[in-house]
Structure 1
Amino acid sequence: MQYTCAVPMCPIDQLVDIARTAEEVGFTSIALPDSIFYMEKQAADYPYTPDGSRMWDENTPWVDPLIAAGAMGAVTSTLRFYTNVMKLGSRNPLLLARQVGSVANLTNNRFGFGVGIGWAPEEFEWCGQPYAKRGKRVDEMIEVIKLVLAGGMVEFHGEFYDFDRLQMSPAPSAPVPFYVGGHTDVALRRAARVGDGWTSAMMTGEQLADTIGKLKALLAEYGRADAPFEFQAVCIDKFGVDGHRELAEAGVTDNILVPWVFEGLGFDAPLRDKQDSMRRFADTYIHSGWQQ
């Protein structure tokens, strides 16, 4: 099982140093969250809290995850990065293909594209995209982005997007992995059908084990049972070496954590405290040899 350090709601001026430390202590990846803006009033409930409220406010810092990946990639050489997850529904697929391809090239293929639909009607409508039919439109977006990133002269004529022959150069020298987020049956089917992996929001170990079982059945249904596939998990109730062992046994391949929050520090804790927390975490879990 690999370990990924997530950086939600982290002060922007800490990100580059956090990337350096993550690589130094042995994390495999950095997970980069996505939020375009904070709307004062929300038309829909946030789907990952019990009461539908958001865990941040108008002053919480966010940075575009693709720009962050480029900046953090420039000061590292082995650390990977992936969006966790980028909300596609409010964006344009050709512009995203240009950005994703650029990050993949600049990081020497150390970038994975975690994708979701998005939950807030305001993000769609205020960015000029319809909220209706968002799932089908995102399915088509994924198809478009993969097509363009594969390189060469391509064209596309779909229900939502239509363009004649074009090419974006240079194409990444290796395929960009797509990690599909979401907990609904539709999202799980999307992950099994077109994804190189699935990424969770906050779930219990029991929920993760159940979902991984469903995904394995769906992968078999789509004839992909033997295809490489990552199960990226954010678990809220499995702690300590024994808890991490249970996650690995359930099929989790990538354990996403925020070490300083794990230790009771805030999202805005001082950089040095976060770095010390990452080192303690690495000593306990990454370098302890518990998986051997």
Structure 2
Amino acid sequence: MRIGFTLPQYGPVANRPADLVRFAAEAERLGADSLWVGDRLLSPLEPKIGYGLSGPGPFPPEFASVFDPFTALTLAASVTSRVRLGTNVLNAPFYSPLPLARTLTSIDRASDGRLVAGFGVGWSPDEFEAVGVPFAERGRRLDEILDVVEAAWTRDVVEHDSPLWNVPPSRIDHKPARRPPIQLGGFAPAALKRIGRRADGWLAAGMLPGMLKAEYLEAPLATIREAAAEAGRDPAAIEVVLRVNPAKGVSAKEIADATLAVHERIGLAEAFVELCYVAPETDHALELAEELLGLLR
């Protein structure tokens, strides 16, 4: 099981990019396998859906200050040479597919082939309203984004024709160092079936305390594997990557014990720990990362 951590991207630390650079370099030195970023745009004062999809309610205060995920990965790439650099997740429907493909290609080149492209459909109607994208179209947009990004990465001539985007037959010679793995997040039935049909991995998630348990992941994983088999794919080839979201006050031992218990039941390819709530300051985050690497290895 590979072990990773989120970069310091949320909250007050978002205004201190030197902390992000220091964390990336030190986490690699400590032995982390991967570093990850997320994608939030705003923190609405009266959100239509609260964090965790629990109905109207506040966003975490950290979401009011978020460092750009593409810039974060570029900075991390500049001071590391080994760790994988992933997005978990980019809210893909926010973006037009060709500029997105180019940006991700450039990050993969800057990191010498270390990008992991993690996409999701998003869940905040307020964010979709802010970017001018109909909330109900996000699944369809993700499907077409996957088509265009895959074409831009793997084909000599790229073309796409739909009511959403029209790409005339064109050469796009700026290619990744190698095709980045595409991992998709989600728990809704449509999202799980899309993962089975199209993804290299499932970006699962669980919160501590309470929701980081194998039984919450087994049924979704069965849906993914069934959809993969129906599409003629090898279900066992789809990696499970778990984002562990510990709340403030959760100990390193509690994080490690819960993660290892899920790994024993599910067989995780990778787990990475979201540090913004449990260790919002960089020094603490590095101390916790070092302790977790000792417990999880």
RMSD: 2.4
Q: Which position in structure 2 is the counterpart of 1:169?
A: 173
Report the Cα offset of residue 248 of structure 1: 1.9
Distance 1:63 1:122 in 2: 19
Residue 52 of structure 2: SS of its match in structure 1? coil
For residue 260 of structure 2, the aligned residue among 233, 245, 257 is: 245
The match for 2:93 is 89
Distance in 1 separating the partners of 2:152 and 2:63 = 36
CA distance in 1, matches of 2:290, 2:44: 36
Counterpart in the other structure of 1:126: 130
**2:233 alignment counterpart:** 224
Offset at residue 190 of structure 1 (A): 0.9
Contact 1:94-1:145 within 8 A present in 2 as well? yes
Q: Output the amino acid matched with 2:22.
A: D
Report the CA distance between 1:151 and its aligned residue.
4.2
Unmatched 5+ stretches in structure 1: 287-292
Q: Mapping of 1:25-104 within 5 angstroms? A: 25-42=30-47, 44-46=48-50, 48=52, 50=54, 52-57=56-61, 60-104=64-108
- How far apart are the structure 2 equivalents of 1:240 and 1:184? 25
| Equivalent pair of 1:259/1:281 in contact (CA under 8 Å) | no
TM-score (norm 1): 0.86
User: 1:9: which partner in 2?
Assistant: 10
Assess if the C-alpha contact under 8 Å between 2:31 and 2:293 holds in 1. yes
Check 1:220–1:47 CA distance in 2 against 1; reply closer, same or farther (3 A cut). Answer: farther
Aligned structure 1 segments of 4 or more residues deviating by more than 6 angstroms: none
Cross-structure match for 2:212: 204
Aligned to 2:274: 258
Alpha-carbon shift at residue 285 of structure 1 (Å): 1.6
Query: How much has 1:251 moved relative to structure 2?
Result: 2.3
Distance 1:278-1:187 versus aligned 2 partners, 3 A rule: same
2:158 maps to 1:154: yes
1:283 matched to 2:294? The reply is yes
CA contact (8 A) 1:151 1:170 kept: no
- Give the direction of change, closer, same or farther, for the CA distance of 1:233–1:239 in structure 2 (3 Å limit): same
1-structure distance, mates of 2:41, 2:273: 22
Q: What secondary structure does 2:135 align onto?
A: coil
Which residues of structure 2 form unaligned runs of 5+? 247-252
Residue 289 of structure 1: aligned partner: none
Instruction: Read off the aligned partner of 1:251 and give its amino acid letter.
Output: G
Cα separation, 1, equivalents of 2:134 and 2:3:
36
How far apart are 1:71 and its partner, in Å? 0.6
What is the aligned partner in structure 2 of residue 179 from structure 1? 183
- Report % sequence identity: 25
What is the alpha-carbon distance in structure 1 between the residues aligned to residue 40 and residue 256 of structure 2? 32
Q: Size of the alignment, in residue pairs?
A: 280
CA spacing shift, 1:236–1:114, aligned 2, 3 Å: closer
User: Is the Cα–Cα contact under 8 Å of residues 128 and 134 in structure 2 kept in the other structure?
Assistant: yes
Describe the superposition over 1:135-194 as per-residue Cα deviations: whole angstroms up to 9, x where unpaired.
Answer: 112211111111112242211112421121223332113111111111001000111111
> Aligned to 1:272, which of 270, 283, 287?
283
Contact 1:5–1:256 (8 Å) recurs in 2:
yes
Q: Contact 2:260–2:296 (CA<8 Å) still a contact in 1?
A: no
Deviations 1:242-263 (A, max 9, x none): 54433223122211213685xx
Q: Which amino acid aligns with 1:280?
A: E
Matched residue SS, 1:133: helix
Q: Tell me the TM-score normalised to structure 2 length.
A: 0.85
